[in-house]
Amino acid sequence: MANVSTERTFAHWLTPRSLLRISVVVALITIVLKMLAWQLTGSVGLLSDALESFVNLAGAMFALAMVTIAQRPADAGHPYGHSKAEYFSAGFEGLLVMGASLAIIWVSVDRWLHPQPLERLDWGLGLSMLSTVLNGGLAWVMFRSARVHRSMALQGDAKHLMTDVYTSVGVVLGLGMAHVTGWIWLDAAVGLLVGLNILWHGGQLVWRSSQGLMDVAVEPEQLQRIEAVLVQEAAAAQAATGEQIVFDSLTTRQAGERSFVDLHLHVPGTWSLALAAHWRDRTEAELMARVPGLRARIELLQRGVDTVYERQKSTTD
């Protein structure tokens, strides 16, 4: 709990929108640095790195638009809110990454077939590493804030930035080896490996966004917190009333920074509605306090009684 509280304090002002605005600015800076590095050296590896920064810019701008939509309140047409818009952002960014990777692979193969000498590697590599430091620092902050806000858009952009960091480090190492050994073909080989690596990461982003759109369950850590609250409240009710209450039919789903849980609370038939509602309200409040961004909904039932849906389901299973 202390760790969660510390992270929320750290990132309370680092909202997804503010971080994505910063990401747009950083992308513009890195584009300038990497394009300059490519112009100075003529390296296809640095060109591939610069092309990915254009994808960073497009992805950050689209993510900013989707996060803005995701933060709109629920309305009559969208009673569960608009938070799933973030998954479109991650999917779009994944497709951009895959498109950039194909362009990088194409350029790298062409350079492999038609090698060219490299020039002014000192300045080119220096500029590339400067952009890498900027991207790495921003990605680290984004990852922490993404955990706090449960933002798929932030997580997708952070993963893309880290892919850019790995790309830049690989390019620098490859160019350094090409300079030391004189094997110019290493520049094209690095560009090709970079393209394949980016293609893989882009595919992962698309897959994750598709899973989010299909109403996946909450993460195991969240589920453990939910189950711990139910055990705690059942024990508290037993101690306070001498009667047993039962929670069942637990279902969960994740939608961007929000998550939802539905379950049944079975109480003794002799209890008043006010007493049953007290334990329902207390449990819902504790669930939402323990799991940030959670919307809990508990249906009251008499102990030993199931809903019509459950009875029908039990006969068909």
Other Cβ atoms closer than 10 A to 185:
12
d(CA 290, CA 285): 9
CA distances from 57 to 72, 164, 173 (A): 24, 12, 25
Residue 4's pLDDT is: 47
What are the Cα distances from residue 27, in Å, to 38, 59, 97, 137? 16, 10, 14, 13
Question: Given this model, what pLDDT does residue 135 score?
Answer: 82
pLDDT bucket at 300, cuts 50 / 70 / 90: very high
Residue with tokens 């790298």: 108
In terms of average pLDDT, the best of 90-99, 142-151, 178-187, 241-250 is: 241-250
Beta bridge partners, 265, equal 247, 300
pLDDT per residue as tens digits for the range 207-257: 777 766 666 788 888 899 999 999 999 999 999 999 999 999 899 987 766
Tell me which range, 28-32, 41-45, 126-130, 306-310, is most confidently predicted by mean pLDDT. 28-32
More confident residue, 109 or 291: 291
Distances from the Cα of 246 to the Cα of 66, 155, 240, 260, angstroms: 40, 37, 15, 20
Q: Which domains does the chain have, with CATH numbers?
A: 2-213 (1.20.1510.10), 220-316 (3.30.70.1350)
Q: Which two tokens stand for residue 122?
A: 């000192």
Q: How far is CA 38 from CA 108, 132, 172, 221, in A?
A: 14, 15, 12, 45
pLDDT tens column, 256-278:
667 889 999 999 999 999 999 99
The pLDDT value given to residue 215: 67
Helix boundaries (H) for the chain? 2-11, 16-41, 44-70, 85-113, 121-149, 152-181, 185-213, 220-241, 273-290, 308-316
Confidence of residue 119 (pLDDT cuts 50, 70, 90): low
In whole angstroms, give the CA distance from residue 85 to residue 65: 9
| Sheet bearing 258-267, strands edge to edge | 246-255, 258-267, 294-302
Structure tokens at 139: 């990605």
What are the tokens at 4?
């969660």
Q: Locate 108 and state its tokens.
A: 């790298």
The Cα 142–Cα 85 span in angstroms is 18
pLDDT at 2: 44
Q: Which long-range contacts (CB under 8 A, 24 or more apart) does 289-293 make?
A: 290/225, 290/226, 290/228, 290/229, 291/218, 291/222, 291/225, 291/226, 291/259, 292/4, 292/8, 292/148, 292/150, 293/149, 293/150, 293/257, 293/258, 293/259
Per-chain mean pLDDT for the chain:
78
Phi, psi of 264 (to 5 degrees): -110, 145
